[in-house]
Amino acid sequence: MHKRLFPLAIFVLVFFLPVSCKKPVLWQTDLDAALRDSESSGRSVFAFFSGGELDEKSYEFRSELLDTDEFKMFAKDKYVLLNLDLSSAEQVAARYGLSSYPTVYILSKDGYVLSIIQYNEAINSVSVLEDILWEQTEGINRVSEAIEKVQSSSGVEKVRSIDSLYEATPVAGRKILAQLVKQVPLLDPDNASGLVGKYEFISVYDEAIEAISEGRQDGVVESFVNIAENGHLDPAQTFEAYYNAAYLMALFASDDYDRMLDFLRKAMEADNENVRADDVTSLMNTVSQMRDLVSADLVD
């Protein structure tokens, strides 16, 4: 009886073993789940942000490269694969400040941006993609090291670590650092690091951009005035804060020309050798002329 079953057992092993041992690489569609897998596996997240089904570039990049067996072999031991359709993942898009697709972000297990690969037609093979990632190795390592320092430090030292992480992170990937940026004044109330003003300004600027993109105006101008008057800004940062306050008033079509001029004068008083001093002087002349024209019309 055993002899009769033995050939069948061999057949089962031969036929099914390749299938059972094959390790499929699956694309996840949930960011938080991908980050959990990243933490447990030690692999970074290869986050492919795509358009909807009708987006031809996303479809071609996925079908002609990312869904190939060659890519799966390349990625299986390195990355947790994540594909997010930004037409239905607005919250994630806002979280990362994404404005274009298809785009690839390499994420740490904490969701910080290690690297960004902007799509272009030249990325048409795994070898090209691998070369791009290889070229970014040094930058990825800098971000990874900075993340570790942020997580292991406190107080003023953590502020310096946050600064290192911010500077090492690709510019387009810095929005995810917003919560760390807001911690800086709390971690260093005496500004021992000399970095508090920098992050006060960054925080207010980023919030202003977000408010404007959402069509909100309330408090945006005042936020710049507040850090100019009460923050830890250096002369150049104070110049920028007052300039932005005046600029936003003009953007919002304010007719309070005297206040705009006051902000522009304060900008010049803070840093009259600023590289944009001539621009501010020109703007002051324009605002003064507008004020005079409006005053003349009111008299008539």
**Digit-coded pLDDT (tens) for 54-81:** 789 999 999 889 999 999 999 989 999 9
Q: Distance between CA 74 and CA 254 in Å, rounded?
A: 56
Residues of the chain with pLDDT under 50: 1-24
pLDDT at res. 53:
75
pTM of the entire predicted model: 0.85
Pull the structure tokens for residue 96: 């990362």
Q: How far is CA 26 from CA 9, 79, 81, 217, 293, in A?
A: 31, 11, 7, 44, 66
Q: What is the pLDDT of residue 6?
A: 40
Closest listed residue to residue 143, CA positions, set 161, 159, 157: 161
CB neighbourhood size of 35 (10 A): 20
Judged by DSSP in three states, 24 sits in coil
| 81 beta partners | 46
- How many C-beta atoms lie closer than 10 Å to residue 166's C-beta? 20
Per-residue pLDDT tens over the stretch 81-115: 999 998 788 889 889 988 788 999 999 999 999 99
> What's the confidence (pLDDT) of residue 297?
67
User: What pLDDT, on a 0 to 100 scale, did the predictor assign at position 19?
Assistant: 41
Angle formed at CA 177 by CA 99 and CA 40, multiple of 5 degrees: 100
Q: What is the pLDDT of residue 300?
A: 56
**What phi and psi values does residue 113 have, to the nearest 5 degrees?**
-90, 115
